[in-house]
């Protein structure tokens, strides 16, 4: 595992927050309860937004690259941290650079299975009990590896880790909740010839079609493929996602794919409002019927609206109210937002505080454990530190991760699982003297 990620989460500020003049919230704590890192580590947690290719251990990346003759800018973990997987990035482009190396090594079943297994293992090691692992299968399909093999390989890795964990005495004796997972497939808002063998061929075959139509066509093909594979093999493919560059590549291009997913009961999440304004979230909700929103960072940024909208503040208010009322969960990725969004200089400026005030349903996610150099515990610790979460606010947010998951079992199973998680969470709260009776959202 990458050295950076094995270390216990620290309370260190991730940014130049200590700059003179920045208004750190830690000095003005309205809630006297300090939530200890050890509690966060022990509490059952989820990660609903974690990319497989952005979360590969650096040691594994190096090993796989050597075995497969993939060229890396460095073959040491420190070298890769210096050159590629940084704590801070100058731009989204720089942030995305690491993915060319991780996808280059994840081109066979063995590599995919290993990456998935280790991702589950890393989560278990920090008390995460439920993950929804997302990846774009088309980035891994090549002449020697088809879509079914890609999905099976990831499933095998996750299942192997789950089976081992759930065979432990505390889980078998019902003293602790088991580990569970689902898989989310990502369609891409846009792609280029260089991104994968599959995309290269797809673009060549459709060379006389309008590019944006080709992107939508690839998404529809993906939706049809994963529904067929899920139905044939019963794999826990639970959700459909849209990732990639937002600006210039609207959600509406992928309408048919989402309609197909919707009609086949694949749940829907959309990366939106990460690098583009509230309209992107509006499209995700109204065109793609998103059940959850990835990032949603610019939900309230009315000043970024470019569409012809007369009353921008009203537009944003109505959108946020709808999202709050429908309990459309925002997958909040604090560190990632800081790294990809130059507008956010430190977490004091993050929109999460407004999300809280509007009573939106939110859950903390890593986005990319390796590329963002973070863990679920660290994300939660940052939230506690910067937003002065009370124990009940923290509990609500963590429990939402389970309640709003695209759980692969029946609704009855899901309810039982969530109940088990809540009971266990409250037991740990009591151990740490944090349990306060409060209305659950
Ligand atoms: Zn993401």
Ligand 1 centroid–CA 368 distance in Å is 7
Residues 6+ apart with CB under 8 A from 392: 436, 438, 439, 440
- CA 429 – ligand 1 centroid, Å: 30
Spacing, Cα 243 to ligand 1 middle (Å) = 7
Tell me the CA–centroid distance for residue 242 and ligand 1, in Å. Answer: 9
Instruction: Give residue 28's pLDDT.
Output: 43
Known catalytic residue: 279?
no
Instruction: Note the pLDDT of residue 439.
Output: 52
DSSP per residue over 100-113, as a string?
Answer: HHHHHH--SHHHHH
The model carries a pTM of 0.91
Output the pLDDT for position 10.
Answer: 40
pLDDT number for residue 32: 53
Q: How far is the CA of 244 from the centre of ligand 1 (A)?
A: 8
Measure 435 CA to ligand 1 centroid, in angstroms. 32
Q: Provide the residues around ligand 1 (an ion) whose CB is within 5 A.
A: 367
> Among 113, 118, 274, 279, which one carries the catalytic annotation?
274
Q: Could you say which residues of the chain have pLDDT below 70?
A: 1-32, 437-441
What does 20-31 look like in DSSP terms, one character per residue?
TT---GGGG-SS
The secondary structure element, H or E, covering residue 303 is none
How far is the centre of ligand 1, averaged over its atoms, from the C-alpha of 438 (Å)? 32
Domain 31-431 part of CATH 3.20.20.140: yes
Establish how many alpha carbons lie within 13 A of residue 13's alpha carbon, considering only the half-sphere containing its beta carbon.
16
Distance CA 327, CA 12 (A): 32
Query: How far apart (Å, rounded) are the C-alpha atoms in residues 196 and 322?
Result: 38
Residues 6 or more apart whose Cβ sits within 8 Å of residue 96: none
Q: How far apart are CA 16 and CA 349, in angstroms?
A: 12
Cα-to-centroid distance, 401 and ligand 1 (Å): 16
pLDDT at 341: 81
pLDDT of residue 440: 52
Note the helical H segments in 181-264: 197-205, 211-233, 255-263
Residues 6+ apart with CB under 8 A from 340: 89, 91, 92, 95, 274, 275
**Ligand 1 centroid distance, CA of 376 (Å):** 14
Q: Of 368, 58, 364, which is closest to residue 243 (Cα–Cα)?
A: 368
């Amino acid at each position: 595992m990458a050295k950076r990620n094995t270390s216990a989460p620290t309370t260190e500020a991730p940014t130049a927050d200590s700059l003179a003049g920045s208004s750190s919230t830690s000095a003005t704590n309205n809630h006297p309860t300090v939530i200890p890192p050890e509690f966060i580590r022990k509490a059952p947690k989820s990660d609903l937004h974690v990319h497989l290719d952005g979360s590969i251990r650096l040691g594994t990346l190096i090993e796989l690259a050597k075995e497969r003759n993939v060229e890396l800018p460095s073959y040491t973990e420190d070298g890769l941290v210096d050159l590629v997987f940084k704590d801070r990035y100058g731009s989204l482009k720089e942030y995305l650079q690491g993915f060319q190396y991780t996808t280059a090594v994840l081109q066979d079943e063995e590599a995919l299975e290993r990456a998935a297994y280790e991702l589950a293992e890393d989560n278990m090691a920090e008390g995460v009990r439920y993950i929804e692992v997302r990846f774009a299968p088309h980035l891994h399909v090549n002449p020697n590896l088809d879509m079914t093999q890609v999905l099976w390989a990831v499933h095998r890795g996750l299942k192997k880790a789950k089976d081992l964990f759930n065979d432990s005495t505390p889980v078998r004796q019902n003293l602790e909740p088991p580990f569970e997972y689902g898989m989310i497939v990502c369609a891409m808002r846009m792609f280029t010839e260089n991104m994968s063998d599959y995309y290269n061929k797809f673009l060549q075959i459709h060379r006389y079609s309008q590019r944006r139509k080709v992107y939508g066509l690839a998404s529809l093909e993906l939706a049809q493929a994963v529904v067929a594979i899920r139905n044939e093999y019963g794999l826990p493919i639970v959700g459909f996602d849209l990732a990639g560059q937002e600006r210039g590549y609207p959600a509406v291009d992928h309408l048919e794919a989402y309609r197909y997913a919707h009609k086949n009961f694949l749940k829907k999440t959309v990366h939106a409002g990460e690098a583009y304004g509230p309209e992107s979230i509006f499209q995700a909700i109204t065109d793609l019927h998103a059940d959850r929103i990835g990032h949603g960072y610019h939900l309230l940024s009315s000043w970024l609206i470019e569409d012809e909208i007369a009353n921008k503040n009203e537009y944003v208010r109505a959108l946020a109210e709808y999202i709050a009322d429908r309990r459309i969960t925002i997958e909040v990725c604090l560190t990632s937002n800081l790294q990809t969004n130059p507008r956010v200089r430190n977490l004091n400026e993050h929109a999460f505080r407004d999300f809280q005030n509007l009573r939106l349903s939110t859950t903390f996610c890593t986005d990319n454990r390796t590329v963002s150099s973070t863990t679920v515990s660290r994300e939660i610790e940052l939230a506690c530190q910067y937003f002065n979460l009370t124990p009940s606010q923290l509990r609500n947010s963590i429990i939402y991760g389970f309640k709003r998951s695209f759980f692969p079992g029946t609704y009855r199973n899901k309810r039982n699982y969530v109940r088990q998680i809540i009971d266990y969470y409250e037991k740990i709260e009591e151990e740490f003297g944090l349990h306060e009776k409060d209305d659950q959202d």
